[in-house]
């Protein structure tokens, strides 16, 4: 698989696409999120896996997002996600609140090719009351248990960062297996990587368990430190200072615009080459 | 020995952990005080298994981020911790926000796993340092996860207690109410009542929270802090006045 | 976790236990199967993950098994499983026929702590007609689709072989992640390993994706070449000649008894030490 | 060029693969002839993705043995192969056994994934080298997986064809019947009828199976055999008279 440019990858995601995006502890492709801002994507429907973080907040701030289906949007230690909160208040964003295992369950239903899967909990929560797409039944096994069925969620595109790709187009995400689930559940998977290496991870018993088969991967782009400010396994850590600075700047729309001009658009020439 | 509020709260929580048989505790990221409490139990010799979420090295999960929820679904998590932007007198918690759905007044980050973990963990300790009528309300604006469930809903556990910066409440799922277990030094039944937005029971003989012992404080500041330096550097610097070696 | 002896491990599995046992391509613990024969286990209810192989056939031949819940029992290239066929014909064994993804689905339902999970296919198959524990419903989502719900399957014990255990009791199975699923779904997991190594797999980004957390592991026993004649990843291959010789010998009850005396009981002193 | 039956069958199957758009084929362990057919298509330049199950090195699945079924459930497998201890005229297959349930006369190994794969793959090529009234029956004793499904049952695909040691049948899911596509050298419509336990249609102009071309045979014996030596050493030795380097 020949790597593509970040810009071409961003261009291949149409406006309005449903995009599964893991949060800060789960190797999001912040590089691709920034490229989506540069291509001025609109109407994206983001899926938190199972929550949403920094990449989601900057996409919202830049006006790329119509809807978020997620269990939380947070900057972690840096506090509430400012552009998410502002967009909700302004009424320019729809949030479909869920709970973490519900996001996993809906994606696993898509992974398994079944139309729905059950999940315990939920009943009595206002989350459920606000999800007309979720359905409570009495168990058909005669136990009298009430249980919620969640429909399969099929994102158009899974977007994440990986440590590396191999010659065959397999990508290596280590223990971040939720990235495998979204790759399985989604129509296409677009993956940024630190580097491309020779060989085939599937033929290496040590690397194979952390690999995702190329059969699920639609495109690869090289983006060094492409998860930053999020962490990438043992390659680099979470950049708290960067996110703290973002959180302060993005408190206002003007502050966000300034941050974005500096941190998203000024880097364009470099990132797209 | 003098102690910080955080140390008192960690000791309160540790005592609640030790009050019931506990094999496996999961602790979320934003919770250095519960984490300190769980480590304190371990360092006191309890044969506890700790799963510290978001721990960067040695993250306990190899099946992706769903594994915590699967593990809890299997009934293997005896104790979990939850907080709440609002917590009400029936132990309902609100992590959504205030004002009209979905939090048009103040939006909180969201419900995370609460609408599952609260039902499926063996029990939950609610923890919120801020104790004010703004947080401890008569009725939450939105229920992220309910304190009790109707018959026919599978539920493995409930809140064991609510620990705040002012007191410890026990929760009674049978009657869906809190009772005051103890108030921290400087508080009284009256001061707690004044700062609490919900009604609660006051058992006879309720008194001041027993302060941390010297042994508990020594463990917290020593062996517990050693374990927490990597994950919670700011907390360790602030509370224990210790920094990780660079 | 201090390793236990194979004999003690076998003794800890009570008669009548429901035991999940992966097939020949999925690192079964043949060593523990032989130890179960030596301890003269009775009434075991074996679960194929998702099919059953050599270890299941020898346990059946030795009279240890009351029931097999599986999608197939086979010796692969060596043909039909002779003691399975004989026991069925003799009426001493109950087989509950399934299909591979149904076995996975029932175990995943247990893994996820839900009472049932749906699966497509199945309808119109006589497998379904013979599984009164499976239930066909019309999808509550109003699509008119008929779909089968399978109940969660909770084995008492998961039994498999792993490459290695570490100081913390984590075990490493590489890409054989079905072993993780049965460990998650079962009450207890008993694992034989080639060796125990220092350290903690969970703290190694390269080893972690193929590891199973000690929290699921109830006991570890060292059994060198404990999967043989089955293969163990890149450590050793499938011993076709051994299984072929078994298939020939086990055609008759007397032949099996002779094989068993030589290959199970003669090794007892060595294996139990 | 003279050829072996296995080579003819591999070429028949390769032509059936190429007759319809195909991106991803999964091939089971006990199927060297379908595997050879799929490799032949690859070596003829088709942009095919092959998932060879039970391949020891480079096993394509990193999510455990359920991944094949998940992959197929997702609709990513365009073509799968199935055989049958019995196959009947409605393309029902029996991998259970003969006599009373569960195969008290002759027990076969079991149904494997057939009761899912047959519905969820884009299409299936049925393959059974033995072509006799014992195998190709009017009605299977037990249905492991049915040839067609009633309305309301999700079904992505059906049998495309049945390839045997004597002929190729096309399957017509709309009318639930096979038609004779071609008979191999040495056979005739009459000989096929005599050896087949089920009724089938005979279109006008049906003739002999086109034999393998020299180019097809050269690829099979060269590049295809190279790929198969590790997984199917006995088959390669017997059919292509080649052995793996020790």
Q: What is the pLDDT of residues A145-168, one digit of tens each?
A: 999 999 999 999 999 999 999 999
B119–A contact, CB cutoff 8 A? yes
B230–C contact, CB cutoff 8 A? no
* Paired sense of beta strands C44-48 and C65-70, if any: parallel
pLDDT for res C270: 43
A66 CA: distance to closest CA in chain B (Å)? 15
For residues D121 and D163, the answer to whether their CB atoms sit within 8 Å is: no
Q: Within chain D, what is the greatest distance between any pair of CA atoms?
A: 54
User: C88 and C183 share a domain?
Assistant: yes
Q: What angle, rounded to 10 degrees, do the helices at C178-185 and C100-112 form?
A: 50
What is the rounded distance in angstroms from the CA atom of residue B5 to the CA atom of residue B184? Answer: 9
Least confident of A12-16, A19-23, C266-270: C266-270
Three-state DSSP at C158 gives strand
User: C109 and C31 share a domain?
Assistant: no
DSSP string, A173-236: -TT-THHHHHHHHSSEEEEEEEEE-SS-GGG-TTTGGGEE-GGG--EEEE-TTTTTTS-BTTTB
User: A241 and A158 share a domain?
Assistant: yes
B61 contacts C111? CB cut-off 8 A: no
Quote the distance between the C-alpha of residue C57 and its chain's center. Answer: 11
User: C166 and C39 share a domain?
Assistant: yes
Among C151, C177, C192, the domain-final residue is C151
Mean pLDDT value across residues C28-47: 98
In total, the C-beta contacts within 8 angstroms joining chain C to chain D are 142
What is the rounded distance in angstroms from the CA atom of residue D155 to the CA atom of residue D151? Answer: 9
User: C121 and C38 share a domain?
Assistant: no
Mutate which of D57, D58, D82, D116 to test chain C, going by most C C-beta atoms within 10 A? Answer: D116
Residue A261 lies in a domain: yes
Q: Is the peptide bond before D102 cis (omega within 30 degrees of 0)?
A: yes
pLDDT bracket for residue C77 (50, 70, 90): confident
What is the rounded distance in angstroms from the CA atom of residue D176 to the CA atom of residue D92? Answer: 10
By C-alpha distance, the chain B residue nearest A23 is B65
D176–C contact, CB cutoff 8 A? no
User: A94 and A104 share a domain?
Assistant: no
Q: Which residue has the tokens 């769903």?
A: B66
Residue A272 lies in a domain: no
pLDDT for res D28: 80
pLDDT bracket for residue A270 (50, 70, 90): very low
A205 contacts C206? CB cut-off 8 A: no
Q: What are phi and psi of A174, to 5 degrees?
A: 60, -135
pLDDT for res B232: 84
Among A116, A151, A186, the domain-final residue is A151
Looking at the DSSP bridge assignments, the partners of residue A150 are A117
What is the rounded distance in angstroms from the CA atom of residue C145 to the CA atom of residue D199? Answer: 32
What is the rounded distance in angstroms from the CA atom of residue D135 to the CA atom of residue D154? Answer: 28
Q: Is the pLDDT of residue A271 over 60?
A: no
Joined tokens for residue D190: 């009459």
Cβ-Cβ contacts under 8 Å, C139 against chain A: 115-116
User: C171 and C259 share a domain?
Assistant: yes
ipTM of the complex: 0.96
Taking only the tens place, the pLDDT of each residue in C176-200 is 999 999 999 999 999 999 999 999 9
Looking from the CA of C51 toward its CB, the CA atoms found within 13 Å total 23
By C-alpha distance, the chain A residue nearest D63 is A209
Three-state DSSP at A9 gives helix
pLDDT bracket for residue A273 (50, 70, 90): very low
For residues A88 and B102, the answer to whether their CB atoms sit within 8 Å is: yes
Q: What is the mean pLDDT of chain D?
A: 94
C12: domain CATH number is 3.40.1080.10
Residue A45 lies in a domain: yes
Joined tokens for residue D149: 């499904």
pLDDT for res B233: 84
DSSP one-letter code for C232: B
pLDDT for res D181: 98
- Across the interface, of C105, C118, C206, the residue whose CB is closest to A116 is C118
What is the rounded distance in angstroms from the CA atom of residue C11 to the CA atom of residue C5? Answer: 10
Joined tokens for residue B11: 């000791």
Taking only the tens place, the pLDDT of each residue in A38-50 is 999 999 999 999 9
Three-state DSSP at B194 gives helix
Taking only the tens place, the pLDDT of each residue in B160-200 is 999 999 999 999 999 999 999 999 999 999 999 999 999 99
Enumerate chain C positions whose Cβ falls within 8 A of a Cβ in B: 110-115, 177, 180, 184-185, 200, 202-203, 208-213, 215
Proportion of chain A above pLDDT 70, given as a percent: 97
CATH architecture for segment(s) D5-239: 3-Layer(aba) Sandwich (3.40)
pLDDT for res D58: 56
pLDDT bracket for residue C227 (50, 70, 90): very high
Q: Is the pLDDT of residue C271 over 70?
A: no
Enumerate chain A positions whose Cβ falls within 8 A of a Cβ in D: 110-115, 177, 180, 184-185, 200, 202-203, 208-213, 215
Among C86, C116, C151, the domain-final residue is C151
Q: Is the peptide bond before A50 cis (omega within 30 degrees of 0)?
A: yes
pLDDT for res B56: 61
Looking from the CA of D128 toward its CB, the CA atoms found within 13 Å total 23
Q: Where are the alpha helices (DSSP H) in A121-207?
A: 126-129, 178-185
Contacts of C127 (CB under 8 A, 6+ apart): C97, C98, C99, C102, D96, D111, D115, D144
Q: Which residue has the tokens 């498999």?
A: C160
DSSP one-letter code for C96: E
Q: Is the pLDDT of residue C273 over 50?
A: no
User: A221 and A248 share a domain?
Assistant: yes
B121–C contact, CB cutoff 8 A? no
A140: domain CATH number is 3.30.30
For residues D218 and D207, the answer to whether their CB atoms sit within 8 Å is: no
- Structural domain count, chain C: 2
C113 contacts B62? CB cut-off 8 A: no
Considering only CA atoms, which of B57, B65, B61, B62 is closest in space to residue B230? B57
Residue D234 neighbours by CB distance under 10 Å: 11
For residues B159 and B87, the answer to whether their CB atoms sit within 8 Å is: no
What is the rounded distance in angstroms from the CA atom of residue C169 to the CA atom of residue C184? Answer: 15
Mean pLDDT value across residues A218-229: 98
Determine if residue B171 is left, alpha or beta; phi over 0 gives left, psi from -120 to 50 gives alpha, anything else beta. beta
Residue A273, Cβ density class (10 Å: 0-12 exposed, 13-18 middle, ≥19 buried) = exposed
pLDDT for res C269: 45
User: C56 and C171 share a domain?
Assistant: yes
User: A89 and A142 share a domain?
Assistant: no
- What are the CA-CA distances from residue A249 to residues A57, A58, A265 (Å)? 12, 11, 16
Instruction: Tell me which of D54 and A220 has the higher pLDDT.
Output: A220
For residues A29 and A228, the answer to whether their CB atoms sit within 8 Å is: no
B60 contacts C213? CB cut-off 8 A: yes
Q: Which domain holds residue C134?
A: 100-151
Residue C272 lies in a domain: no
User: A164 and A88 share a domain?
Assistant: yes
D102 contacts C99? CB cut-off 8 A: no
Which residue ranges of chain B lie beneath pLDDT 50?
none
Instruction: Name the helix (H) or strand (E) containing C206.
Output: none
Least confident of A225-234, B98-107, B232-241, D152-161: B232-241
Taking only the tens place, the pLDDT of each residue in C109-159 is 999 999 999 999 999 999 999 999 999 999 999 999 999 999 999 999 999
Residue C271 lies in a domain: no
Taking only the tens place, the pLDDT of each residue in A166-216 is 999 999 999 999 999 999 999 999 999 999 999 999 999 999 999 999 999
Cβ-Cβ contacts under 8 Å, A25 against chain B: 29, 54, 65
Taking only the tens place, the pLDDT of each residue in D106-116 is 999 999 999 99
For residues B123 and B160, the answer to whether their CB atoms sit within 8 Å is: yes
User: C80 and C36 share a domain?
Assistant: yes
Domain parsing of chain D, residue ranges: 5-239
Looking at the DSSP bridge assignments, the partners of residue A160 are A191
What is the rounded distance in angstroms from the CA atom of residue B208 to the CA atom of residue B220? Answer: 21
A191 CA: distance to closest CA in chain B (Å)? 17
Q: Is the pLDDT of residue D238 over 80?
A: yes
């Amino acid at each position: 698989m020949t790597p593509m440019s970040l810009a071409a990858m961003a261009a291949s995601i149409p406006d309005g696409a449903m995009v599964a995006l893991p949060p800060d502890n789960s190797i999001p492709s912040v590089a691709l999120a920034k490229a989506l801002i540069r291509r001025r994507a609109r109407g994206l429907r983001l899926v938190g896996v199972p929550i949403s973080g920094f990449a989601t907040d900057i996409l919202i701030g830049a006006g790329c997002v119509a809807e978020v289906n997620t269990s939380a949007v947070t900057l972690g230690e840096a506090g509430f996600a400012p552009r998410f909160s502002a967009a909700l208040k302004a009424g320019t964003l729809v949030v479909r609140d869920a709970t973490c295992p519900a996001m996993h369950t809906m994606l696993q239903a898509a992974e398994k090719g079944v139309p729905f899967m059950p999940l315990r909990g939920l009943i009595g929560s206002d989350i459920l009351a606000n999800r007309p797409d979720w359905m409570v039944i009495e168990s058909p096994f005669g136990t009298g248990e009430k249980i919620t069925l969640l429909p399969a969620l099929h994102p158009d595109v899974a977007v994440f960062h990986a440590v590396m790709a191999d010659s065959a187009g397999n990508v290596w995400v280590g223990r971040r297996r939720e990235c495998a689930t979204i790759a399985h559940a989604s129509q296409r998977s677009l993956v940024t990587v630190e580097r491309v290496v020779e060989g085939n991870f599937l033929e290496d018993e040590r690397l194979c368990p952390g690999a995702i088969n190329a059969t699920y991967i639609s495109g690869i782009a090289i983006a060094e430190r492409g998860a930053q400010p999020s962490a990438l396994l043992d390659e680099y850590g979470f950049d708290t200072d960067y996110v703290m600075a973002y959180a302060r700047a993005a408190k206002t729309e003007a502050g966000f615009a300034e941050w974005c001009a500096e941190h998203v658009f000024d880097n364009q020439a470099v990132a797209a080459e | 020995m003098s102690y910080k509020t955080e140390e008192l709260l960690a000791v309160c929580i540790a005592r609640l952990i030790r009050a019931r048989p506990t094999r496996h505790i999961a602790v979320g990221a934003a919770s250095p005080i519960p984490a300190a409490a769980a480590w304190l139990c371990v360092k006191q010799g309890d044969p506890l298994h700790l799963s510290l979420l978001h721990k960067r090295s040695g993250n306990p999960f190899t099946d992706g981020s769903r594994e915590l929820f699967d593990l809890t679904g299997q009934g293997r998590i005896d104790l979990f911790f939850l907080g709440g932007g609002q917590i009400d007198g029936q132990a309902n918690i609100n992590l959504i926000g205030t004002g009209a759905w979905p939090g048009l007044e103040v939006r909180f980050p969201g419900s995370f796993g609460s609408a599952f973990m609260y039902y499926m963990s063996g029990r939950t300790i609610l923890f919120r340092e801020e104790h004010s009528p703004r947080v401890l309300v008569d009725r939450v604006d939105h229920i992220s996860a309910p304190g009790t469930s109707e018959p026919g809903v599978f539920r493995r556990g409930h809140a064991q207690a609510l620990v705040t910066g002012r007191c410890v409440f026990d929760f009674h799922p049978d009657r869906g109410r809190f009772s005051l277990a103890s108030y921290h030094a400087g508080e009284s039944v009256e001061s707690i009542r004044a700062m609490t937005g919900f009604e609660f029971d006051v058992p006879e003989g309720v008194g001041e929270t027993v302060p941390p012992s010297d042994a508990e404080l020594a463990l917290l500041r020593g062996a517990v802090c050693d374990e927490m330096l990597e994950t919670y550097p700011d907390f360790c610097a602030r509370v224990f006045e210790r920094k990780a070696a660079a």
